[in-house]
């Protein structure tokens, strides 16, 4: 059977308050096109479908349109929630999505009580069993473990317990079918880009499942949660993080996003290949002086920008000048040698308002406030004092 593995759509996520709904729509249009062109039997959607637990209607419209188009093409979807999704909401939506070939496995369940989803190939000649493991928060792990009559060793650590849960799910597989794990979790050794879009609280070492604990006698392990597309090193079975749909934050700048096509055969190693995605605006860092940056305005296309301006010190209004030349500049940072702020001998709250302002400016900018700025502050303070 042939699968398309994707994850971490995060539909509805903005960047610095700017909507990216048009980018998400284009990216999902591309994913649907790849699925149709590749003739896949099913989509494996490994969580974080949405950015927020209560997404805007516009985000729903983009996701549902993709599901409908896949249904029209005869392609099934098996989806699980990630840590950004509302399991309760997806469970309710699943009843509406089932008639169009979208199976939402919203909660961890034992294999014989819905934890394994059976998906036939489009020609009916084969069946795949998909063991679904949605994101399990640490605080709810006990609830999940209780479903399996877990022993005490499950509770030694989150990672140990997740390893036991994976093994228990794998024991429910039918050896005559193509067996696949679909999970939203973090593995030890996975590469996460600092400043990327993942939530740090759910990618720490406490959440890291050793790759050796991933079931080794399955055709494929389809994972979500890590935004950089990558194979899981140390796994006995072919295992991958599909990666996010777009470059979601500047830590992901330069990453090539993709989906994974999986050729799975019973009793044989799966063949896995990436198909690159081209939709969505790239994220780019620019560095230079004000003149150098404005001269590069024609080079950046429609990329979202984080700009670092090299100056001799604080320059009032420089951000506005940068954004006039580079309208897609979301962050503007001044880069200059900063002196250590002098320690204040008494609490700032005890200082005169003018001295409070000077202390704040030194702390924020590592320099003395310009004379004209102090004059403006004195004028405003005088007006405020007179009004009082």
Highest mean pLDDT among 66-70, 111-115, 188-192, 310-314: 66-70
Q: CA 22, CA 26: separation in Å to the nearest integer?
A: 6
H/E stretch holding 349 reads none
Helices 353-365 and 371-387: angle between axes, nearest 10 degrees = 140
pTM: 0.86
Q: Please determine, for residue 349, whether its predicted confidence score (pLDDT) is greater than 80.
A: no
pLDDT digits (tens, 9 = 90+) for 231-290: 999 999 999 999 999 999 999 999 999 999 999 988 777 999 999 999 999 999 999 999
Q: Identify the structural domains of the chain with CATH numbers, from first to last.
A: 2-276 (3.60.21.10), 283-387 (no CATH)
Q: How confident is the model at residue 131 (pLDDT cuts 50, 70, 90)?
A: very high
Beta partners for residue 4, in sequence order: 43, 261
pLDDT of residue 10: 98
Whole-angstrom CA distances from 86 to 103, 363, 375 are 16, 41, 53
pLDDT of residue 144: 83
Q: CA 14, CA 219: separation in Å to the nearest integer?
A: 36
Q: CA 62, CA 79: separation in Å to the nearest integer?
A: 16
pLDDT of residue 344: 46
Q: What values do phi and psi take at 56, rounded to 5?
A: -70, 155
Q: How confident is the model at residue 360 (pLDDT cuts 50, 70, 90)?
A: confident
């Amino acid at each position: 059977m042939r699968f398309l593995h994707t994850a971490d759509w995060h539909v509805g996520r903005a960047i610095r308050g700017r909507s990216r709904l048009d980018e998400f729509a284009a990216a999902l249009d591309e994913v649907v096109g790849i699925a149709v062109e590749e003739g896949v039997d099913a989509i494996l959607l490994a969580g974080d479908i949405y950015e927020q637990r209560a997404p805007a209607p516009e985000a729903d419209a983009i996701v549902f349109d993709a599901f409908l188009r896949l249904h029209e093409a005869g392609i099934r979807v098996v989806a699980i929630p990630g840590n950004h999704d509302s399991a309760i909401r997806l469970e309710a939506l699943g009843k509406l999505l089932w008639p169009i070939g979208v199976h939402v496995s919203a909660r961890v369940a034992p294999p014989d009580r819905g934890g394994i989803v059976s998906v036939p190939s489009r020609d009916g000649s084969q069946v795949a069993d998909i063991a679904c493991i949605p994101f399990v928060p640490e605080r709810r792990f006990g609830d999940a473990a209780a479903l399996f009559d877990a022993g005490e060793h499950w509770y030694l650590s989150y990672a140990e317990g997740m390893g036991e849960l994976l093994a228990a799910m794998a024991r429910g597989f039918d050896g005559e079918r193509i067996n696949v794990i679909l999970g939203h979790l973090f593995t030890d050794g996975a590469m996460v880009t600092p400043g990327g879009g993942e939530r740090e609280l759910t990618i720490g070492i406490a959440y890291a499942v050793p790759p050796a604990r991933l079931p080794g006698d399955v055709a494929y392990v389809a994972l979500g949660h890590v935004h950089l597309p990558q194979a899981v090193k140390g796994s006995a079975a072919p295992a991958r993080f599909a990666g996010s749909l777009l470059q979601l934050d500047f830590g992901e700048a330069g990453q090539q996003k993709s989906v994974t096509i999986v050729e799975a055969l019973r009793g044989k190693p799966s063949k896995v290949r990436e198909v690159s995605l081209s939709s969505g605006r790239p994220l780019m860092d620019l560095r230079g002086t004000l003149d150098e940056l404005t001269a590069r305005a024609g080079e950046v296309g429609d990329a979202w920008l984080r700009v670092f301006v090299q100056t001799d010190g604080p320059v009032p209004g420089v951000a506005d000048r940068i954004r006039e030349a580079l309208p897609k500049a979301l962050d503007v940072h001044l880069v200059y040698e900063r002196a250590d702020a002098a320690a204040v001998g008494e609490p700032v709250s005890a200082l005169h308002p003018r001295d409070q302002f000077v202390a704040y400016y030194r702390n924020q900018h590592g320099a003395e406030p310009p004379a004209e700025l102090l004059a403006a502050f004195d004028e405003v303070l005088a007006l405020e004092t007179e009004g009082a």
